[in-house]
């Protein structure tokens, strides 16, 4: 198991290229189950989660390989196996997105209840509700979800939940509906760019999807889908993380391959804090003044502020000159990073789904432990600006969502090393 050792205080300068979106690539890879022929995906990052899903797909009869250009090539070679077993699925929640494609193409899916980061309760009842509306029969047996159907038929499906729309649930139902008979309408659909990217990929394969990017998605079922060549969108969460890295170190960094139109809520909060964000060609230039203003941040479904950047912004606001308020409305228990940031001298007080952030002049390096993917990123951000040395244990979490982050930060001037614990 590796750790990061960071000596803080270096200003980040230079350019970094944002990788393809993890949260878009994973459902698109799963959607290859639906297709005949080969799919070539460009821009898929080299991450632990991508490796995990590749292994699951191979067990399900999909050939997966990286070519010389680092593209991922997928082709269904065997449709006999419909089981995504626990030992494979437990490592990441996104593996549940094989359910919809398996049901639509093979008429049966057996998927273990998924694992992933410890960020609070994330039930999949809406996924099952959608499968049942399309004609699937669902049953939970010994921790495995069994879904079967003789045929799928289009339906009107409401996908709203207590904390907003479900991204993976929308993806799962949309994929299943592509091969259903007739028309499916998903109401209260997730509007995230990753859902739009999945729909664009499916349409490139011959699907009939309209309305993606709005709360009402319409899918006209087709008899079959073919493979295609497709480029995954840039990762908006990685973009936001590097923006925070530039801001927290008082740096000056250009992000190439960055879609600012996917980050309007994030850019709004950064500018309110005192961070300069300027469009620059296909990317953005990020710089910061030495004085950071306190702000309020509330996570919401897209196009609101993303929950996956809440922890990183909390690290940044720890240095603002006053009191900030961070409220989590997607995963109310997603605050495991609070105790670790406090170990580094932050002054954070949790009150229900809200954290009061009292700004300090400086963070101090300390041994801390990563508990999930985005909390890991927040600790890296804190370590970059902290006085002295920070040791972050269990960084395998960060490898799930950031490709070689220590090498890319080093290229910008950070003092960060990966070492065996």
Q: Is residue 12 a contact partner of residue 384, using CB atoms and an 8 Å limit?
A: yes
What tokens does 93 get?
């929640």
Q: Is residue 28 a contact partner of residue 201, using CB atoms and an 8 Å limit?
A: yes
Q: How far apart are CA 194 and CA 167, in angstroms?
A: 8
Q: What is the 3-state secondary structure (H, E, C) of the chain?
A: CEEEEEECCCCCEEEEECCECHHHHHHHHHHHHHEECEEEEECCCCCHHHHHHHHHHHHCCEEEEECCCCCEEEEECCCCCCEECHHHHCCCHHHHHHHHHHHHHHCEEEEECCCCCCCCCCCCHHHHHHHHHCCCEEEEECCEEEEECCCCECCEEECEECCEECHHHHHHHHHHHCCCECEEEEECCCCCHHHHHHHHHHHHCCCEEECECECEEEEECCCCEECCEEECCECHHHHHHHHHHHHHCCCEEEEECCCHHHCHHHHHHHHHHCEEEEEECCEEEEEECCCCCCCEEEECCCCCECHHHHHHHHHHHCCCCCEEEEECCCCCCCCCHHHHHHHCCCEEEEECCEEEEECCCCCECCEEECCCHHHHHHHHHHHHHCECEEEEECHHHHHHCCCCHHHHHHHCCCEEEEEEC
Q: Is residue 184 a contact partner of residue 149, using CB atoms and an 8 Å limit?
A: no
Q: 371 preceded by cis ω (within 30°)?
A: no
* Catalytic hit among 3, 82, 97, 117: 117
Q: How far apart are CA 342 and CA 363, in angstroms?
A: 9
CB neighbourhood size of 39 (10 A): 27
Whether residue 117 lies in the annotated active site: yes
Catalytic positions, please? 117
């Amino acid at each position: 198991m590796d750790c990061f050792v960071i000596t803080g205080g270096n200003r980040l300068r230079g350019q970094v290229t944002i990788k393809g979106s993890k949260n878009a690539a994973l459902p698109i890879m799963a959607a290859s189950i639906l297709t005949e022929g080969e799919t070539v995906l460009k821009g898929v990052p080299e991450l632990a989660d991508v490796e995990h899903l590749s292994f699951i797909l191979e067990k399900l009869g999909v050939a997966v390989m990286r070519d010389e250009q680092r593209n991922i090539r997928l082709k269904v070679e065997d449709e006999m196996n419909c089981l995504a077993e626990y030992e494979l699925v437990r490592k990441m929640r996104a593996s549940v997105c094989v359910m919809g494609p398996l049901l639509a193409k093979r008429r049966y899916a057996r998927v273990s209840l998924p694992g992933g980061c410890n960020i609070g309760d994330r039930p999949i009842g809406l996924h099952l509700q959608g499968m049942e509306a399309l004609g699937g029969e669902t049953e939970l047996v010994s921790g495995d979800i069994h879904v079967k159907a003789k045929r799928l038929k289009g339906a009107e499906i409401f996908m709203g939940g207590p904390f907003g729309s479900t991204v993976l649930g929308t993806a799962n139902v949309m994929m299943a509906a592509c091969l259903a008979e007739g028309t499916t309408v998903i109401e209260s659909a997730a509007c995230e760019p990753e859902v739009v990217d999945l729909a664009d990929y499916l349409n490139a394969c011959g699907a009939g999807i309209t309305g993606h990017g709005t709360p009402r998605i319409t899918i006209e079922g087709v008899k079959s889908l073919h493979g295609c060549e497709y480029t995954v969108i840039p990762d908006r969460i990685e973009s936001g993380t590097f923006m925070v890295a530039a801001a927290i170190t008082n740096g000056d960094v250009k992000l190439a391959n960055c879609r600012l139109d996917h980050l309007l809520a994030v850019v709004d909060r950064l500018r309110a804090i005192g961070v300069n964000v300027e469009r620059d060609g296909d990317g953005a230039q990020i710089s910061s003044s030495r004085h950071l203003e306190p702000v309020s941040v509330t996570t919401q479904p897209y196009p609101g502020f993303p929950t996956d950047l809440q922890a990183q912004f909390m690290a940044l606001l720890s240095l603002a000159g006053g009191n900030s308020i961070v409220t989590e409305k997607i995963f109310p228990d997603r605050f495991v990073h609070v105790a670790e940031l406090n170990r580094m001298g932050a002054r954070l007080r949790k009150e229900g789904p809200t954290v009061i952030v009292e700004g300090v002049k400086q963070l101090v390096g300390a041994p801390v432990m990563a508990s999930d993917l985005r909390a890991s990123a927040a600790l890296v951000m804190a370590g970059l600006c902290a006085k002295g040395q920070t040791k972050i244990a269990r960084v395998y979490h960060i490898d799930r969502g950031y490709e070689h982050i220590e090498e890319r930060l080093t290229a910008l001037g950070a003092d960060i090393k990966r070492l065996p614990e």
